[in-house]
Structure 1
Amino acid sequence: MKAQGDVNQGEEAPDTTAKYPQYQLKGLLQARYLESFGENVDVLGMHHSAGDVTQSSFDIKRMRVGLNTKLSEATEVVILVNLADFKSDTKGKVLENAYGKYTFNKYIALTGGQFRPAFGIEELVPVDIIKSFDFSNQYYEFGKNGWTSFQIGASATGSFDVGKIPISYAISVLNGNGKNVEMDKDNGKQYSTRWVFGLSKEHKINLGLNGGFGKVFKEDVFAIGADITSDFKLTDKFTFDLQIEYKQGTNHNLYFSLPADQRVGEVSNYQMRGIYFLPNLRYVVNYKKLTALELSCRYETFNPSYKVNSNVRQTYTPMISLEFGKNYTGRIEMGFEIDRFDRNIPDTSTYNDELFLIQLQLRL
């Protein structure tokens, strides 16, 4: 029997000299130049049949400031705000992360507050290190339906091994209202889970499975998804990584936004689904201040309601990125977001567009 204070060989002793609380300040700036080449389409993607639209503009996409506070070895509090939201109506904006987390061990940690619940690849990756300009269309649409993006609720996360396969999990219960709401819009809650299986350590191949169900205004809703990621080292300087993600679920946000007399059948008739492929080629330069060069092109097809009034949106996002410093401390990105719809709807954002972007990113 091991006496208190003994440590097995190879096992790290707990750090009894650490002083708490500990603070870590984080920040992110994303400033952009935008130019729309779509006919009578402005830089925000809105079509104007009368013409006279703003087709070139500078913009601040994000100006985030965050504070991570470790109250003890096991307890942390995270706050994140986006000051760029002050440029428009701030209702429901600005405050992004506001949660506390207590880690019992590697097998279980509990999180409560406002956070991004795990329900896909993008929910686990900060926007400043993704391989494209922004998250996918499906990410934002599933966010409107309470499964992704910033939500209020609680979550249990952890990891363990089954034989040689590492497995991580997340189980969440959410209001499903989105961020910064005073209370739940109804008494229904949304329950979701994510499981990730490490299939190859050498090539970092991971398989993710997602599922969720709940009630919104007493109607049953669901969401499912599957994704796979991989990272191949081609040479000492070349690496190739790939993300593929599929999601499908009830678009109850669309259903309840329609007047009752315009709805077709039950909420179950309104289902969204989408898939995207995001290949990325990285070349390590390490010449003076330039760290690496990256080339990516995400292709996504998304349908917000494939059973009723189907209108598929295809989006191509080719991008070249120059990285300065480590971990994307500095980044200059250039490329296009090209949208193609089955049907254009005049005077809406559901309209074909070609948007050119140059984005400067600085993070600390």
Structure 2
Amino acid sequence: MKKTLLLRIILILFLQPFFLNAQTTEVKSTSDSESEVKYPQFQFKGLLQARYLESFGDNVDVLGTHHSTGDVTQSSFDIKRMRVGLNTKLSEATEVVILVNLADFKSDPKGKVLENAYGKYTFNKYIALTGGQFRPAFGIEELVPVDIIKSFDFSNQYYEFGKNGWTSFQIGASATGAFDIGKIPFNYAFSVLNGNGKDVEMDKDNGKQYSSRVVFELSKKHKINLGLNGGIGKVFKEKVFAVGADVTSNFQLADKFSFDLQIEYKQGTNHNLYFSLPVDNRTPNVDDYQMRGVYFLPNLRYVVNYQKLTALEFSCRYETFDPNYKIASNVRQTYTPMISLEFGKAYTGRIEAGFQIDNYDHDIPDTSTYSNNLFLIQLQLRL
């Protein structure tokens, strides 16, 4: 009897730690399952930009093209963008982004429609790797979605540098990150690109374009940032380059008034123009064909918060851009005054009205290089 009791006690003492461990493990497992973030996570996005356009130029249509015959469309409704996007978080560090613009189907969709198509892996705040089709960091506008910019559209220099493989949607790989230099926050980006633009089956040559961007936060209170950009590469065995600098700031003037300013300068080889010309009509040196431009974009914001109206904004971008200032200079000056009514948060709804006023040093008949005054009303809805 005593031996049986003793054996039971020994058995209980021996097995008790296992039962306690099992119970603890079960409680911990339950707790972890409740706090664990489940993947994948999906976020759907959308953007509609519908516009009314009216041209006030002589024989210039709403797309900015001059017609010497006088048979032009000078007023029209248009859908600028109808974007649908999906952001997928596969894990805490891995995400896949897809963005398409369905409005591109209204014309030849070749080389259009698909905009973002990339994967990103974030190791930590110091380094993240991106690969696929994306907008490489090479200025202010590359880091800001078109639906929250302070004007109707991106600048002329943005699109021209996009044609030359530095901005807009490009195929390649990129490394980005952030750290502090002393007390100054510092962001960087380094990209290797085909330089062909978006939706191209393969690189047009064996050359690649290497671009970099660094941003210094000079004032946290006024959000003053200084950005520096530089790029080199080869296109059809010809050396090309691009450089740029930009400043952004935001000043809180009063409780409901704020003022922000963007200034950006870019210069680089216009190899897109060079290789588009017949060999007999161009110089042998690609460096003779260079583009440069600068723009100022001030924006005044007044927070209303009256019923559904969130804020009023007034901006007026001034830009000067020359696509070939060394060989055949023809400066394009563009003024874009705009008033904007914001509904909801983060531009969920937005109504914009204003002008795009283009003045060229030399008008070229029957082309889009022709001075014009364009009136715009744009409705924007985003989710």
TM-score band, normalised by the shorter chain?
over 0.9
TM score, norm. by length of structure 2: 0.91
Q: How do 1:1-364 residues align onto structure 2 when only pairs under 5 Å count?
A: 17-364=36-383
**Distance in 2 separating the partners of 1:147 and 1:118:** 9
1:264/1:308 contact within 8 Å kept: no
1:16–1:209 Cα change, 3 Å: farther
Query: In 1, Cα distance between the equivalents of 2:267 and 2:145?
Result: 23
* Deviation of the 1:264 alpha carbon: 2.5
Match of 2:12 in 1: none
Structure 1 CA distance for aligned equivalents of residues 199 and 78 of structure 2: 24
**2: CA distance, partners of 1:169 / 1:240:** 26
Question: Aligned partners of 1:16, 1:222: CA distance in 2, in Å?
Answer: 50
| Aligned counterparts of 1:25 and 1:164: Cα–Cα separation in 2 | 37
Aligned partner of 1:311: which letter? N
Question: Structure 1 unaligned runs (5+)?
Answer: 1-12
Match of 2:3 in 1: none
Amino acid at match of 2:372: D
How has the CA–CA distance of structure 1 residues 169 and 16 changed in structure 2, closer, same or farther, with 3 Å as cutoff? farther
Distance across 2 between alignment mates of 1:16 and 1:269: 61
The amino acid across from 1:273 in the alignment is R
Deviations 1:14-35 (A, max 9, x none): x951000000000000000000
Partners of 1:153 and 1:359 in 2: how far apart?
33
Q: Is the 8 A contact 1:186 1:217 kept in 2?
A: yes
Structure 2: runs of 5+ lacking an equivalent? 1-31
Structure having the higher helix fraction is 2
SS at match of 2:196: coil
What whole-Å deviation, never above 9, does each CA across 1:174-198 have from its counterpart, x for those lacking one? 0000000000000000000000000
2:340 maps to amino acid? S
- Deviation digits for residues 158-214 of structure 1 (CA, Å, limit 9, x no counterpart): 000111100000000000000000000000000000000000000000000000000
The CA deviation at 1:238 is 0.2
Moved over 4 A (4+): none
> Equivalent pairs: percent with the same residue?
85
Q: Select the structure of larger CA radius of gyration.
A: 2
What's the offset of the Cα at 1:225?
Answer: 0.1
Map of 1:9 onto structure 2 = none
Deviation at 1:247, TM superposition (A): 0.1
Shift of 1:79: 0.1
> Which one is further off, 217-226 or 257-266?
257-266
Whole-Å separation in 1 of the counterparts to 2:283 and 2:241: 19
The residue type paired with residue 220 of structure 1 is K
Q: How far apart are residue 265 of structure 1 and its match?
A: 3.6
Using structure 1 for the length normalisation, give the TM-score. Answer: 0.96
Amino acid at match of 1:176: G
Does the C-alpha gap of structure 1 residues 73 and 259 become closer, same or farther in structure 2, counting only changes over 3 Å? Answer: same
Task: Kindly report the root-mean-square deviation, in angstroms, between the aligned alpha carbons of the 2 structures.
Answer: 0.9
Deviations 1:250-271 (A, max 9, x none): 0000000000000034100000
Q: CA–CA distance in 2 between the matches of 1:193 and 1:16?
A: 39
- Displacement of 1:130: 0.1
Letter in 1 for 2:266: K
Provide the secondary structure at the position in 2 that maps to 1:256: helix
